Amino acid sequence: MTIPPAKTPHILFLFSNTGGGHRASAEAIIESLKLEFGDSISTEMVDFLKDYAPPPYNHLPAIYPDLVRVPELWGVGFHVSNGRRQARIMTSTLWPLVRRAARRLVREHPSDMLVSVHALANSFALKALGKNRPPFITVVTDMVSTHALWYDRQADLILVPTEIARQRALEYAMPPEKVRVVGQPVSERCSAPPGDKRLLRQQLNWPQDKVVVLLVGGGEGMGPLAETARAIDESGLDVGLVIVTGRNVRLEAELKSRAWENPTLIYGFTQDMPFFMHAADVLVTKAGPGTIAEALNAALPIILYAKLPGQEDGNVSFVEQVGAGVWAPEPLLVVRTLTRWICRPAERAKVIENCRRAARPEAARTIARILGAQVGLSK
């Protein structure tokens, strides 16, 4: 008798390009699934907003960069909509509008498990799946200030990046046995031990004899990136500047046209951030969770100069609480912190050690093993 081959489990990841973090988290988990289980598992990613949401919601990924350029308005929307009652009202109100699209999504993408890395996907996907459904896992990709929409009691498991996020889940009445702290998933390259800094700088053609400050504004090059870079350059500090403007082409051109006093390298969107972080001495960035997690893994001291109100407020508190960096929302404060860390190397060394202690480089691998176990695979 011929025994038919075992079916390869298929996992569907629900994400959307409202910021780069959701996609990056899904890709990091998929990478770890392949490293852990090889061809024993198959995966698929669907941008549920862009590909399935009805108008005007399908335009959210495209207009997201414009929405967050008015951070105060974004913060009001976050806080007004946050809470169990508000989340229920929101999903109940929108369900009649998105019901057909949500059901079409799950019908057209059959899977043995669904993994959501976006707060807006959870309740609608669970409603569309109904009672006889495959396992549904939520991977929370906000670090601390997590919105109530992340926590739907119908989910089989909620994987969160920090203990604070777990406490918020419990406050939103999630059963404790359904919530696990796993860390923030980042790519394997961002989880690797730091390499030889001198060799990396040689390969990147960066200064070898200066403190190198890496300035990052997220995938969209947001925040007062230009003002902060200029303030550092004009401060009299003898440093090297590496500025990453992301997809902000206008900002990249503006900075490249400037005459800089210090050695300055300017990059647009790049896949080389893991190398940049391992080669730099200090990171100046907005408070995005993925960037913070990558910096911790690279033992890179963090100066946070901007945040998105609401979902990134807690990230600032987290970085300060673990001693991995400081909040410096004005260019002058950034310069003061840099001056202190350069003049007091022992203080910077302590921050570096705090980064190492707070890092969770195994997060994506841990999540991959949990997902594998849910579909009957083991390493």
What does the DSSP assignment read for 122-167? HHHHHHHH-SS---EEEE--SSSS--GGG--TTSSEEEESSHHHHH
Query: Where do the DSSP E strands lie in 144-296?
Result: 157-160, 179-181, 211-216, 239-244, 264-267, 282-286
* Average of per-residue pLDDT values in the chain: 93
Please say whether the beta carbons of 123 and 48 come within 8 A.
no
Given this model, what pLDDT does residue 2 score?
Answer: 42
Where residue 322 falls among pLDDT bands split at 50, 70, 90? very high
Q: Which of 60-69, 208-217, 275-284, 297-306 has the lowest mean pLDDT?
A: 60-69
Whether 38 has a pLDDT exceeding 70, the answer reads yes
Q: How far is CA 41 from CA 34, 202, 378, in A?
A: 7, 39, 11
C-alpha angle with apex 212: 263 to 189, nearest 5 degrees?
120
| Residues of the chain above pLDDT 70, percent | 97
Name the pairing type of β-strands 264-267 and 325-327: unpaired
Give the chain's domains with CATH numbers: 10-186+361-374 (3.40.50.2000), 193-358 (3.40.50.2000)
Whether 305 has a pLDDT exceeding 50, the answer reads yes
Whether 3 has a pLDDT exceeding 50, the answer reads no
What digits encode the pLDDT tens for the residues 40-62?
999 999 999 999 999 999 999 98
C-alpha angle with apex 333: 253 to 201, nearest 5 degrees?
55
What digits encode the pLDDT tens for the residues 138-161?
999 999 999 999 999 999 999 999
Q: How far is CA 126 from CA 138, 211, 217, 222, in A?
A: 11, 50, 34, 33
Nearest to 184 by CA among 22, 375, 350, 311: 22
Where residue 194 falls among pLDDT bands split at 50, 70, 90? confident
Q: How far is CA 168 from CA 26, 74, 139, 150, 237, in A?
A: 22, 21, 14, 10, 42
pTM (2 decimals)? 0.93
Residues counted in the chain = 379
Question: What angle, 0 to 180 degrees and rounded to 10, lies between the N-to-C axes of helices 289-297 and 313-321?
Answer: 20
Given this model, what pLDDT does residue 272 score?
Answer: 92
Where residue 67 falls among pLDDT bands split at 50, 70, 90? confident
What digits encode the pLDDT tens for the residues 325-372?
999 999 999 999 999 999 999 999 999 999 999 999 999 999 999 999
Given this model, what pLDDT does residue 369 score?
Answer: 97
